A and B are shown apart, each in its own frame.
Chain A
Amino acid sequence: DAKTTQPPSMDCAEGRAANLPCNHSTISGNEYVYWYRQIHSQGPQYIIHGLKNNETNEMASLIITEDRKSSTLILPHATLRDTAVYYCIVRVSGNTPLVFGKGTRLSVIA
């Protein structure tokens, strides 16, 4: 079972920042937070992951609360091509596979 809770859908205006929340209140100390997205009829795309520190890459920023019970994925300047289902997943790094929940359907609106 997925260990995360995400809103089922969100809208964002093109050019604005998209902030996608994720609750993972039962996260263990050795579990990472991973974010993937799936554009319609494609395979999931890796975005970013983190353990406890905030992370940033060319795609997004990941903000993890100090108690690690929630996190936020930030797309700084959303474009129409960012319309997708975004999945927040917690797992122990290593041999366990990713288990997908229902994710958040982000619609970027012109």
Chain B
Amino acid sequence: GAVVSQHPSWVICKSGTSVKIECRSLDFQATTMFWYRQFPKQSLMLMATSNEGSKATYEQGVEKDKFLINHASLTLSTLTVTSAHPEDSSFYICSARGRDPSLGTQYFGPGTRLTVL
């Protein structure tokens, strides 16, 4: 149980284009989803937290107009990188947590590797 999927697993795009990454909880309802990114040889950095049906909360330094997050249902969240540039190349990882907050366990997707040329 507690499987989180991401699509695509990797994407290459030209500078200036937008890229959408999907995150799905396959066997549980994710009331809260998180987006992280990871640069080479670094740890995961939290980008934003989203609750189903409400606007995402972004971490300091993360541009909300550049990284659009939609959490429209209890099983799907999307991250759109708008007007991508080479510095946005990174490993993007989503995470989901179920309805019972007392459990608190976050489950992670396999990640999406974005390369912007």
Contacts and interface: CB of A to CB of B under 8 A. Distances in A.
B105 to A, nearest CB: 6
Given A95-B32, A100-B44, A101-B43, A42 B111 contact: yes
B49 A100 contact: no
Which of A43, A45, A92 has the most chain B CB within a 10 Å cutoff? A43
B34 A97 contact: yes
Interface residues of B, number: 26
Contacts of B67: none
B44 A44 contact: yes
Contacts of B91: 41
Contacts of B49: 97
Interface size on A, as a range, is 20 to 34
Interface stretch (B68-76, B80-88, B96-104): B96-104
Interface of B: 2, 4, 6, 32, 34, 36, 43-46, 49, 91, 93, 95, 101-111, 113
Interface of A: 32, 34, 36, 38, 41-46, 49, 87, 91-95, 97-103
Given A87-B43, A97-B46, A97-B106, 18 more contacts: A42-B111, A43-B6, A43-B93, A43-B95, A43-B111, A45-B108, A46-B2, A46-B105, A46-B106, A92-B104, A93-B101, A93-B102, A93-B103, A97-B95, A98-B95, A99-B46, A101-B43, A102-B43
